[in-house]
Structure formats: C-alpha cells, structure tokens
Amino acid sequence: MTLKEFAQMLNGREYGYPQFTPEEIRIAKENGFVIVCGASDDLMEFHGVIRDEGGCYDGGTVFFNKTSVIFPEDEKQPGNCSQITALWCKEKDENGIPATWAYQTDILHETFKIWEDGELYCIGIVFSIDDVR
C-alpha cells in the first residue's frame, strides 16, 4: 500500500477515541507508516510504527526518532532526530476551511482530514518510518 492510498483510507473520519481501528493500525505497522494527528487542545499523537505523544498546547514542535518522542533538555533541539511543528488554528485546507490542527515537517508525507461536528478538526499526516532520522 502506498502512503497516498493509506491517507485516502484515513480521510474524512469523525474525531473520536480510539481515532483509528485496529485494522488501520495493523496496516500502518505492516507498511512502516506513522500516523500523526491532534488530540484535545494540547497533544500530537503518533500511531502505527511509533505509538507516542508530544505536548504542543497552542502549537509547537515535537522531536522524535524512529522509536519515540524525544523531550529536549533546556529547550534545545536534540541531535539526530526529526521534527513536526503543530499549527493550532493557523492553517486552512485547499478549500479555505480553517483547521484546528495542522502540521509542518520536511518529512515526505500525505495528508488526511478529521472532522468534528461538521468542522475541520485536523489535517493529519502519514509518513514512512524510513524517512525519519
């Protein structure tokens, strides 16, 4: 399965818990994919090959490697890791619809949308673990 096909499978769901089915998590793990989405007003969640979360209240950057989130000491960027910046209420989709959560990263990725009560809650991303430092 390609990243694009997997992102299309995840696209359009309603926000809830658990956010992804056991089958979707299994597919992500088998294909070496990581799913990133927002939870509540302060979390960036990782599902699939990585299962972890990072705090990003009001937006912020989360650092991680191929196995887990890394919490930097003294607010310095840790070495040899990847990063994703969470954007809280700052992005819109291709149709100009504002999203509560969206993400920026230099990792090759595909996007998908999560809705909540008719509003765009999250523009999530999915990427390959092979592209993580």
Tokens for 110, please give them.
Answer: 């595909």
Give the list of residues 6+ apart from residue 106 with CB closer than 8 angstroms, or none: none
pLDDT for the residue 45: 97
pLDDT for the residue 5: 98
Mean pLDDT of 75-99: 91
Mean pLDDT of 8-17: 97
Is residue 95 within 8 A of residue 72, CB to CB? The reply is: no
**CA atoms lying within 13 Å on the CB side of residue 25:** 10
Q: Report pTM.
A: 0.95
Is the confidence at residue 124, as pLDDT, over 70? yes
Q: What letters, b where the CB count within 10 A reaches 16 and e where it falls short, cover 30-68? A: ebbbbbbbbeeebbbbbbbbbeebbebeebeebbbeeee
**Which residues face 33 on adjacent strands?**
128
Tokens for 36, please give them.
Answer: 């990133």
Is the confidence at residue 53, as pLDDT, over 70? yes
Mean pLDDT of 102-120: 98
Q: What mean pLDDT, rounded, does the chain reach? A: 95
> 74 pLDDT band (50/70/90 cuts)?
low
Top pLDDT among 62 and 75 is at: 62
